Amino acid sequence: MKANDLDYVLVPLGLALIAVYHLWLLYRIIYQPTKTVIGINAINRRIWVETIMEDPAKNGILAVQTLRNNIMASTLLATAAVMLSTLIVTLMSNNSSTSSSNSFLRGQALVLALFGNKSYHILPFKFFAIILCFMLAFFFNLQSIRYYSHGSMLIGVPVMRQCGLGAAYAPKYVFRVLNKAGYFWSLGMHTFYFSIPVFLWLFGPVPMVLASLVLVSALYFLDSGNSMIGEGSGEAMNSMVNPE
């Protein structure tokens, strides 16, 4: 196999490895939520919402502070994502503005591609992949801020002030809103993680596929919730994830 062909084999292999892991994680979240951190967080988030809405006068400050911290964290990540995207676009524009910069960029392409395709023309695709990761992270965190902001208003409505069926449905609706915020937060974090092997693609397909292996191993450790709860309580918690 030629060195230039490594990109066509190792890069899809690394992407496929990450895609298969996330499909497996999605299956676990839907059908075995107590075996994932995301599922366990969703269960406890529902209990927290119901507790807060039972007596907002007593627990309102705690709810506001908690949601404010989540909004600040999402805002920080969204800001970092858009700043990194802008920085990369600026560097690409500056490097392509003059002929001398073009020569420098071609040299960098040959140096960075230690193994694999050393063509100058593939370098913009690598930068575009990095920018796409950061823009997706920005979008996901922006949606997380949206749902946290929406939930911060809804969670302060006392259940006792609801009329008829609304009293029973209101906590479930607030839980779903905050759960969407949590899911978008997780998507944003995973997109940031995914940018690591994409960035290492600048150094060639071999570092990229190795980073993908390390990333999947680390994510399995971070996303697995097998050791967090006992087997006896798993079935009871499963029934709380998707309320009727």
Structure confidence by residue, pLDDT tens digits, 87-120: 888 877 765 554 444 544 454 444 445 566 666 6
For 89, the domain range is 27-241
Cβ atoms within 10 Å of 202's Cβ, excluding its own: 17
d(CA 49, CA 151): 10
DSSP bridge partners of 36: 224
Report pLDDT for 116: 62
Half-sphere exposure of 141 (CA within 13 A, CB side): 24
Report pLDDT for 244: 45
Judge whether 15 lies within some domain. Answer: no
3-state SS, residue 132: helix
For the question of whether the overall pTM of this predicted structure is more than 0.85, the answer is: no
Judge whether 116 lies within some domain. Answer: yes
3-state SS, residue 243: coil
144 near 136, Cβ under 8 Å?
Answer: no
Judge whether 144 lies within some domain. Answer: yes
200 near 211, Cβ under 8 Å?
Answer: yes
Report pLDDT for 101: 46
**193 φ/ψ angles, rounded to the nearest 5 degrees:** -60, -40
Judge whether 21 lies within some domain. Answer: no
d(CA 242, CA 175): 10
Judge whether 86 lies within some domain. Answer: yes
Judge whether 114 lies within some domain. Answer: yes
Report pLDDT for 6: 78
133 near 191, Cβ under 8 Å?
Answer: yes
**Cα 68 from chain centroid (whole Å):** 19
d(CA 13, CA 151): 40
Judge whether 98 lies within some domain. Answer: yes
Give me the number of domains the chain comprises.
Answer: 1
Judge whether 4 lies within some domain. Answer: no
Report pLDDT for 115: 60
Residue 158 CA: distances (Å) to CA of 23, 43, 54, 170: 39, 21, 6, 9
d(CA 103, CA 236): 64
Which positions of the chain have pLDDT values less than 50?
98-101, 103-105, 107-112, 227, 231-233, 236, 241, 243-244
Amino acid at site 78: A
